Amino acid sequence: MDIAFVIEKFILVTIIFVITLVIAMYSTYAERKVAAFLQDRLGPDRAGPFGILQPLADGLKMFMKEEIIPTNASKWLFMVGPGLAMLTACIGTAVIPWGSPIVVNDRIVPLQVTDINVGILYIFGVVSLGVYGVMIGGWASNNKYSLLSAIRAASQNISYEIAMGLSIIALLLVTNTMSLKEIVDQQHGWHWNIFYQPLGFLIFIICAFAETNRAPFDLPECETELIGGYHTEYSSMKLGFYLFAEYINMFVSSAVMATLYFGGYNYPGMDWVLMHTGPVVGPLIGTAVFFTKIFAFIFFFMWVRWTIPRFRYDQLMHLGWKGLIPLAIANIIITGIVIAIIEKF
Amino acid sequence: MEPLTSKKKILEQKPLTFAERIYLPAIAKGLSVTISHLFKKEATIRYPEVQREFSINFRGLHSLKRDEHGKERCTACGLCALSCPAEAITMIAAERKPEEKDLYREEKYAAVYEINMLRCIFCGLCEEACPKEAIYLDGPIVPSDYLRKDFIYGKDKLVEQPLTNK
């Protein structure tokens, strides 16, 4: 392992981390703007032209506020909760292929921090760890309402993880590999997985909404139900971490969906473009296309949030266990039958 | 229990159809409604660059009026201060000197006339009580400020209408 390899990975990790944070920061701005335009009003437009500097103002506010720790709260767990939420949100970005490998100075640099051959399983594991951040936050607050909300959040998360895993199994039947790089390579040009697995994609996107505690499944944190939910007692930077981790989760979920079902950095006509733009610019165009898909998904997340009323807790459980799991199993069976028939002929 | 009128609507709770149970058609319809609002003009009015018109009877900032010769109408009779329910008006009367004949209408005038804008409720009772038609509430909204003392408006600052032709 030579020093150039270490430096290359280090630079890649730094760039991806910075891009993730900046995109999450401007997701907060976009959320407010999109919410406003959907509600016939303007969003923030006083901080800088068109309100562009609003996230910086919000960040400054988060830094300047006083950190309050409740008296009987377990101090260490109180601080670990948001940190864990942020950690599990950020490490999900490590296995996503951001673009085709670029060639710099006779050196092929893959635009993916690490291409482990159980990529999907890693993402799934990281998402499961995200439950801990919420649960610890709710428990450490020493507040029975936060605890209730944390319990609801945890049960919602684990219920929808099952349906997500089952839909991924159906995808694995089609792709025969768990490595994200190979899944993206199989979707070259127009052969996106959405055409092979439409039902699987539907289940996956519903579970993604539930996993990120977003849109119609945001019972754990909506203001009308439980004040603040599991982050009621948090203030200043710890609250900032929780809210930020939610937007990073949204970004990572969008990236995973775009990778698994919408072809990642592939687009029709990419061979022509790669031939004509050289080894450095071509893959970066693919990366730009990938980010366009991610932003489209993020917009969809926000669009759905301001359209659909939220699910009540029992309706949510009913949908997860009695609706999505049978549907996901049926999807696996149908996929298996279709693949067996196709292989016969 | 028997209903008291025959106008009661009987709610029929039919079980959900398949299309209703999968939620997706209803979601799609909702999404189309929401996205149509993205392309409509927004209803926001960008205050303070754009301001809406007030009605004719709107009561804003006070102003002490002058008569057709440019002399101040106010004679410091104190009826406005008496009628003010918030006790916002205070004044100190003074006698007109011979050389100030063009400035004030009568021999008594208000040397110091102060209205505390934080106390004032803009009810207009001072306007109704004034016998000399001296005070009217026809100004704009009182602008905001940082210190309490800056809200006590004196005679020279803002409670006066400047001379029209002199």
Q: Chain A within 8 Å of B50 (Cβ-Cβ)? A: no
Contact list, B36 vs chain A (CB under 8 Å): none
The pLDDT tens digits for A175-204 are: 899 899 999 989 887 888 899 999 999 999
Q: Is the sign of the CA dihedral A140, A145, A147, A149 positive or negative?
A: negative
The pLDDT tens digits for B51-70 are: 888 999 999 999 888 888 88
- Among A108-117, A332-341, B78-87, the minimum mean pLDDT is found in A108-117
Q: How far is B43 from chain A (nearest CA, A)?
A: 6
Q: Which residue of A41, A42, A308 is in closest CB contact with B30?
A: A308
Going by C-alpha positions, the residue among A115, A90, A116, A113 that lies closest to residue A5 is A113
Is residue B57 in some structural domain?
A: no
Torsion of CA A230, A233, A237, A239, to 10 degrees: 30
- Specify the pLDDT at position B158: 53
The pLDDT tens digits for B121-163 are: 999 999 999 999 999 998 888 889 999 999 999 887 655 665 6
The domain that holds B67 is classified in CATH as 3.30.70.3270
Going by C-alpha positions, the residue among B82, B58, B80 that lies closest to residue B133 is B80
- Specify the pLDDT at position A223: 57
Is residue B130 in some structural domain?
A: yes
Query: Is there a contact between A38 and B38 if contact means CB atoms under 8 Å apart?
Result: yes
pTM for the full model?
0.86
Is residue B67 in some structural domain?
A: yes
- Look at A173 and A104; give whichever has higher pLDDT: A173
Average pLDDT over residues B19-44: 89
The Cβ of residue A249 has, within 10 Å, a number of other Cβ atoms equal to: 26
Q: Which residue of A41, A303, A304 is in closest CB contact with B44?
A: A41
Is residue B163 in some structural domain?
A: no
Is residue B138 in some structural domain?
A: yes
Query: Is there a contact between B42 and A37 if contact means CB atoms under 8 Å apart?
Result: yes
Interface of A with B in 30-49 (CB under 8 A): 36-42
Is residue B118 in some structural domain?
A: yes
Is residue B8 in some structural domain?
A: no
The pLDDT tens digits for A87-99 are: 999 998 999 999 8
The residues near B158 (Cβ < 8 Å, ≥ 6 apart) are B61, B139
Domain span at A51: 3-344
Structural domains of chain B, count? 1
Is residue B141 in some structural domain?
A: yes
pLDDT at A227 over 70: no
Contact B157, B98 (CB under 8 A): no
Domain span at B111: 63-153
Q: Chain A within 8 Å of B31 (Cβ-Cβ)? A: yes
Choose, out of B18, B42, B46, the residue to mutate when testing the contact with A (most A CBs < 10 Å). B42
Question: What's the mean per-residue pLDDT of chain B?
Answer: 87
Side chain identity at B141, as an amino acid letter?
A: I
The pLDDT tens digits for A34-91 are: 999 999 998 898 888 888 999 999 999 988 998 888 888 888 888 898 999 999 999 9
Interface of A with B in 283-312 (CB under 8 A): 303-304, 306-308
Structural domains of chain A, count? 1
Q: Chain A within 8 Å of B34 (Cβ-Cβ)? A: yes
